[in-house]
C-alpha cells in the first residue's frame, strides 16, 4: 500500500513559484520586516541581490586551487562508475536510475538478475533525461516512475523542470520506450498519482483555485478515466484547506484488491479509509498511528499508547491483526515489536510469506524475520545483521512473488555491500561491493554519550584519525538534524572521507532528540514547546567534544540542512560561543513567517502555529530570524539555498543573511543555486560544488 510521499528531506529529502501575500504578518516585535521583498522568489530586486551575494561568496571561497581540488574529489565520488547501481525489482527486471559524467541528468534503465550479477551488466536504457531535455529545451530532473502491476509496461513518469517538488506527469510505455500518445498527462504541479487499472488512475493535483491545501499539496483526489478531460474526473474525496494533503491508491494484489484514501492532517496525524462499493469506510486506528494492509494482514505502528481490545499498547509498538477481522470490529492484536529504553523499530518490509523487521539498538541495526502461521501466531528468528557501529537496511523485496530480499550493509568506514538473500536459505549472496574512496585504515569509529541539560543521555558517533591528540586542536565537523522522527545512522560517505577526514578532520554525527533513533518518544521529546531540547542536546554534544579535548570552540564547526538548518540557526544565535563556523543549508529560520511560505503550513505539527499568540510565545524562543541581535560575537556563517526549493523556499536563508549584514556583520556569506529543489543540486556537478563550498568554508574558518 502506497503512503503519500511527503518528507522533509535532509541532504538528508517536491507549481514551483513561491507564494506571495498581501499584508503579511509582522515579525511579532512591533516592527515591520524590511526584508519581505526577498520572499519574491524570482523578483528582479531579489535575484539581483542573489547574484551579487553569489559573486562575493564564490570569489572568497571558490576562486582558489583548494576549492577546485575538493570539488573534483567529491565529483569523482558522485560520478564514479564503480558505485553500486541500486535496483528495484519489477517483474523479471531490475530497474535503476543512474547519473554520471556522461549523463549528468541521468538514465532510467533496466536489466535482468543474471546480467546484474556481472561486473559490467548490460543495461537497457528506457529514458535518457539529458537527451529528453535537449530535445525539448528543458532542464528536466527525473523524480521517479509508478509502473502498473503485474506487467509493469505502463508507467507514470514524474519530471521536475528545476528539481523542485512540482512535477509534470506523463504516461510512458516501457516496451516501446516512448511516451504514450494522448496518454495520461498532467502539467507541472505538486501532484500525486496511482494506477487503478489500464484506463483509470487516481490523481490529486492543482485542479484550479481552491484545490490545493494551505501546505501547497492536493486537497482533492479524483478518479480519472483515459481519454476524458481532467475537468470531468470524478471526485473521490475533498479535504479541508487546513489538511496537509489528500491522496488515494489501489492495491492490485490478486485476491486482495482494495482501494484506500489517505487524509493527511499533518506530518504525524492522518485518517485512512477503504473505498468500497462507492463508500469510504474508516480504518479505525488512532490518528497518530501508521497503518498498512498487506494481503490478509493489517499492521499498526503506534506513536502513542493505545488502549484497545482490553490492552494498552505502548508507543512505538508494531501490532498485527487480520484485516477483515479488524474491519468487522475485532481487536485481538498480536504484538510483533515492543520498544524498550534502548531499542526502537526503524522500518519493516514484507516478502511473499514473511515480514522483516529493522530495529535499532542504541542507533545500531538489527534484522529479524517474522513468519505468520495459519492459526494467527507468529514465529521469529534473527536475520544476518551488520557489524558493530554500522547499518543494515532492506532496500528491496517483491512481496507479490517470492521471499527474496536485498540488503545494504554499510558503516562510516565500510563501503556498502549489496546482498541478495532468500528467507530460509543459509546465507545471502554478495551481489555488489562499493569501492573505497579513501584509506579507512587511518581512522577509527567510536560511539559516545553526552549529557544534555535535563540529564538525558544523547548518543553521538565520532570518526577520527587514529592517534589524534586530545589537545583541542582538531578541526571537527558536527552534523545534526533532530526532527520529524528522522534517524541519522552510520553510513559510508566517500565525499566526507575525501573532503574532510583525509585532510585531518574529525567528523561527528549527533543523534539528538526530535529524531527517530529511539522511536516516537525521542521525537516527541522535542516537539513544539519542547523544541529547544533538541538544541540543548546538540550543544551538549559540542561541549562533550570540547571537554574530551577532541576539539575547541575555535576549531569546531557545525552543519545541518532543512530542519537541520533551523538547528544551525539556533546554534548560531543561542550558542555562538561553542562554534568557530556554521554552515546553514536550505534552512528554516523565520519561524514567524514559515507557515506562509511554500509548504511551511505542513510542519505545524512539528513546530506549532506562529499565528496563534499562545504558540508564538514559545516558537519565538527558537526563531533565529527574530533572535539575532546586534553587537554579539557570532561565528562566521554560510547560508546556502536554491531558487527552485518549493518546499522550504529560498526566502528564509536570504532574509537571515540580509538581516545580519544589515546589522553590520561582515563574516556572513550566502550562496543560492538556481536548480536542485530542496536537495540543492539537480546533478552531480551542482551537488559537488555546493558541498565543496560548504566544507571549504568550514575548513578555512576553523584554523
Q: Are 191 and 4 in contact (CB under 8 A)?
A: no
Q: Of 543, 437, 542, 444, nearest to 497 (Cα)?
A: 437
Residue at 261 is within a domain: yes
Residue at 25 is within a domain: no
Residue 662 belongs to domain with CATH number: 3.40.50.1820
DSSP line for 416-483: EEEEEEEBTBSSPEEEEEPPP-S-GGGEEEEEEEEE-TTS-EEEEEEEEETT--SSS-S-EEEE----
* Residue showing cell 507468529: 378
- 562 given a catalytic annotation: yes
DSSP line for 574-637: H-GGG-SEEEEES----TTTGGGSTTGGGGHHHH--TTSHHHHHHHGGG-HHHH--TT--PPPE
Among residues 271, 287, 320, the one where a domain terminates is 271
Across 632-657, average pLDDT: 95
600: alpha, beta or left, given left = phi > 0 and alpha = psi -120 to 50?
Answer: alpha
In whole angstroms, how far apart are CA 694 and each of 58, 61, 560, 636, 676?
11, 9, 11, 12, 16
DSSP line for 481-523: ---TT--------HHHIIIIITTT-EEEEE--BTBSTT-HHHH
- CA dist 78 and 74 (Å) reads 6
- 487 given a catalytic annotation: no
- Classified as helix, coil or strand, 38 is helix
Looking at the 3D structure of the chain, how many domains does it have? Answer: 2
Across 170-193, average pLDDT: 98
Q: Which three cell numbers stand for residue 320?
A: 498485527
The number of helices, as runs of H, and strands, as runs of E, in the chain is: 14, 39
Residue 233 belongs to domain with CATH number: 2.130.10.120
Q: Which domain does 652 fall in, by range?
A: 467-701
* Summary mean pLDDT of the chain: 93
Residue at 445 is within a domain: no
Residue at 419 is within a domain: no
pLDDT of residue 680: 64
pLDDT > 70: what percent of the chain?
Answer: 95
pLDDT digits (tens, 9 = 90+) for 558-598: 999 999 999 999 999 999 999 999 999 999 999 999 999 99
Residue at 503 is within a domain: yes
Catalytic residue (choose from 354, 678, 689, 691): 678
pLDDT digits (tens, 9 = 90+) for 343-375: 999 999 999 999 999 999 999 999 999 999 988
Q: Are 440 and 414 in contact (CB under 8 A)?
A: yes
Positive or negative: CA dihedral 16, 20, 25, 28? positive
Length of the chain in residues, anyone?
703
Catalytic residue (choose from 247, 390, 562, 644): 562
**Predicted TM-score (pTM) of this structure:** 0.93
In whole angstroms, how far apart are CA 201 and each of 154, 204, 617?
12, 10, 45
pLDDT digits (tens, 9 = 90+) for 646-691: 899 999 999 999 999 999 999 999 999 987 677 767 789 999 999 9
- pLDDT band at residue 486 under the 50/70/90 scheme: very high
Across 50-77, average pLDDT: 96
pLDDT of residue 30: 43
pLDDT of 17 higher than 70: no
pLDDT of residue 442: 97
- CA dist 301 and 290 (Å) reads 5
Among residues 271, 299, 316, the one where a domain terminates is 271
- CA dist 394 and 282 (Å) reads 31
- Classified as helix, coil or strand, 45 is helix
Among residues 212, 247, 271, the one where a domain terminates is 271
pLDDT digits (tens, 9 = 90+) for 214-269: 999 999 999 999 999 999 999 999 999 999 999 999 999 999 999 999 999 998 99
- CA dist 2 and 14 (Å) reads 17
- pLDDT band at residue 32 under the 50/70/90 scheme: confident
pLDDT of 71 higher than 60: yes
Q: Are 630 and 661 in contact (CB under 8 A)?
A: no
pLDDT of residue 542: 98
Q: Of 297, 311, 313, 309, nearest to 345 (Cα)?
A: 313
In whole angstroms, how far apart are CA 230 and each of 169, 201, 204, 221, 237?
13, 11, 11, 12, 16
pLDDT of 5 higher than 80: no
Q: Which three cell numbers stand for residue 658?
A: 540580509
pLDDT > 90: what percent of the chain?
Answer: 90
pLDDT digits (tens, 9 = 90+) for 421-460: 999 988 899 999 999 999 999 999 999 999 999 999 999 9
Q: Are 129 and 107 in contact (CB under 8 A)?
A: yes
In whole angstroms, how far apart are CA 671 and each of 266, 591, 668?
31, 21, 11
Residue at 57 is within a domain: no
Q: Are 491 and 391 in contact (CB under 8 A)?
A: yes
Consecutive H or E run containing 57 = helix 44-61
DSSP-assigned beta bridge partners for residue 370: 355, 380
Across 397-413, average pLDDT: 95
- Classified as helix, coil or strand, 701 is helix
Please give the residue that has the higher pLDDT: either 527 or 679: 527
Q: Are 346 and 366 in contact (CB under 8 A)?
A: no
Across 278-289, average pLDDT: 97
- CA dist 249 and 195 (Å) reads 7
pLDDT of 540 higher than 90: yes
Residue at 211 is within a domain: yes
pLDDT of residue 2: 40
Across 30-45, average pLDDT: 90
Residue at 396 is within a domain: no
Amino acid at each position: 500500500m502506497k503512503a503519500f510521499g511527503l518528507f522533509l528531506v535532509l541532504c538528508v529529502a517536491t507549481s514551483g513559484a513561491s507564494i506571495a501575500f498581501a499584508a503579511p504578518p509582522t515579525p511579532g516585535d512591533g516592527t515591520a520586516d524590511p526584508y519581505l521583498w526577498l520572499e519574491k522568489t524570482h523578483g528582479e530586486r531579489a535575484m539581483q541581490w542573489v547574484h551579487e551575494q553569489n559573486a562575493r561568496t564564490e570569489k572568497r571561497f571558490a576562486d582558489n586551487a583548494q576549492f577546485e581540488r575538493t570539488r573534483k574529489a567529491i565529483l569523482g565520488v558522485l560520478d564514479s562508475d564503480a558505485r553500486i547501481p541500486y535496483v528495484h525489482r519489477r517483474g523479471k527486471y531490475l530497474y535503476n536510475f543512474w547519473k554520471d559524467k556522461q549523463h549528468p541528468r541521468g538514465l532510467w534503465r533496466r536489466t535482468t538478475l543474471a546480467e546484474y550479477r556481472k561486473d559490467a551488466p548490460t543495461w537497457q536504457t528506457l529514458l535518457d533525461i539529458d537527451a529528453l531535455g535537449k530535445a525539448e529545451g528543458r532542464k528536466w530532473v527525473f523524480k521517479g516512475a509508478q509502473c502498473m502491476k503485474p506487467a509493469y509496461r505502463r508507467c507514470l513518469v514524474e519530471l521536475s523542470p528545476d528539481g523542485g517538488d512540482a512535477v509534470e506527469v506523463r504516461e510512458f510505455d516501457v516496451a516501446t520506450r516512448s511516451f504514450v500518445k494522448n496518454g495520461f498527462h498532467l502539467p507541472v504541479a505538486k501532484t500525486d498519482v496511482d494506477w487503478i487499472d489500464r484506463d483509470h488512475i487516481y490523481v490529486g493535483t492543482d485542479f484550479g483555485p481552491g484545490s490545493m491545501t494551505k501546505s501547497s499539496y492536493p486537497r482533492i483526489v479524483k478518479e480519472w478515466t483515459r481519454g476524458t478531460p481532467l475537468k470531468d474526473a470524478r471526485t473521490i474525496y475533498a479535504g479541508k484547506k487546513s489538511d496537509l494533503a489528500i491522496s488515494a491508491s489501489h492495491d492490485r494484489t490478486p485476491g486482495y484488491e482494495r482501494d484506500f484514501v489517505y487524509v493527511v492532517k499533518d506530518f504525524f496525524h492522518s485518517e485512512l479509509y477503504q473505498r468500497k462499493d462507492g463508500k469510504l469506510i474508516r480504518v479505525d486506528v488512532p490518528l497518530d498511528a501508521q497503518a498498512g494492509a498487506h494481503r490478509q494482514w493489517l499492521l499498526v505502528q503506534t506513536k502513542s499508547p493505545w488502549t484497545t481490545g482490553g490492552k494498552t499498547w505502548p508507543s512505538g509498538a508494531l501490532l498485527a491483526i487480520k484485516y477483515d477481522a479488524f474491519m468487522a470490529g475485532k481487536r485481538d492484536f498480536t504484538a510483533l515489536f515492543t520498544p524498550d529504553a534502548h531499542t526502537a523499530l526503524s522500518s519493516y518490509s514484507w516478502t511473499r510469506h514473511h515480514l522483516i523487521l529493522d530495529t535499532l539498538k542504541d542507533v545500531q541495526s538489527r534484522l529479524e524475520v517474522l513468519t505468520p502461521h495459519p492459526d494467527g501466531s507468529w514465529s521469529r528468528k534473527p536475520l544476518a545483521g551488520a557489524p558493530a557501529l554500522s547499518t543494515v537496511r532492506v532496500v528491496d523485496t517483491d512481496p507479490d512473488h517470492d521471499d527474496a530480499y536485498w540488503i545494504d550493509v554499510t558503516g562510516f568506514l565500510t563501503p556498502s555491500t549489496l546482498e541478495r538473500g532468500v528467507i530460509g536459505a543459509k546465507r545471502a549472496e554478495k551481489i555488489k561491493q562499493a569501492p573505497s574512496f579513501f584509506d579507512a585504515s587511518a581512522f577509527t569509529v567510536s560511539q559516545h554519550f553526552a549529557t544534555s541539560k535535563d540529564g538525558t543521555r544523547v548518543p553521538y558517533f565520532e570518526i577520527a584519525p587514529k592517534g589524534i591528540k586530545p589537545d583541542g586542536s582538531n578541526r571537527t565537523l558536527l552534523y545534526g538534524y533532530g526532527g520529524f522522527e528522522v534517524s541519522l545512522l552510520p553510513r559510508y560517505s566517500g565525499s566526507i572521507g575525501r573532503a574532510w577526514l583525509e585532510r585531518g578532520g574529525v567528523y561527528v554525527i549527533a543523534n539528538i532528540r526530535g529524531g527517530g533513533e529511539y522511536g516516537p518518544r525521542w521525537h516527541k521529546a522535542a516537539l513544539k514547546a519542547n523544541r529547544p531540547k533538541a538544541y540543548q542536546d546538540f550543544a551538549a554534544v559540542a561541549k562533550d567534544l570540547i571537554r574530551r579535548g577532541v576539539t575547541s570552540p575555535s576549531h569546531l564547526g557545525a552543519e545541518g540542512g532543512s530542519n537541520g538548518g533551523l538547528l544551525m540557526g539556533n546554534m548560531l544565535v543561542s550558542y555562538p560561543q561553542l562554534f568557530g563556523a556554521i554552515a546553514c543549508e536550505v534552512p528554516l529560520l523565520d519561524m514567524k513567517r514559515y507557515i506562509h511560505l511554500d509548504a511551511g503550513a505542513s510542519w505545524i505539527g512539528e513546530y506549532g502555529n506562529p499565528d496563534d499568540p499562545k504558540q508564538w510565545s514559545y516558537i519565538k524562543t527558537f526563531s533565529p530570524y527574530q533572535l539575532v541581535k546586534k553587537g554579539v560575537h557570532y561565528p562566521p556563517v554560510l547560508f546556502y539555498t536554491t531558487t527552485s526549493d518549493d518546499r522550504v523556499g529560498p526566502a528564509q536563508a536570504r532574509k537571515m543573511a540580509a538581516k545580519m549584514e544589515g546589522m553590520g556583520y561582515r563574516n556572513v556569506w550566502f550562496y543560492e543555486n538556481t536548480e536542485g529543489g530542496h536537495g540543492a543540486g539537480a546533478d552531480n556537478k551542482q551537488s559537488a560544488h555546493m558541498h565543496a563550498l560548504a566544507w571549504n568554508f568550514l575548513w578555512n574558518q576553523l584554523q
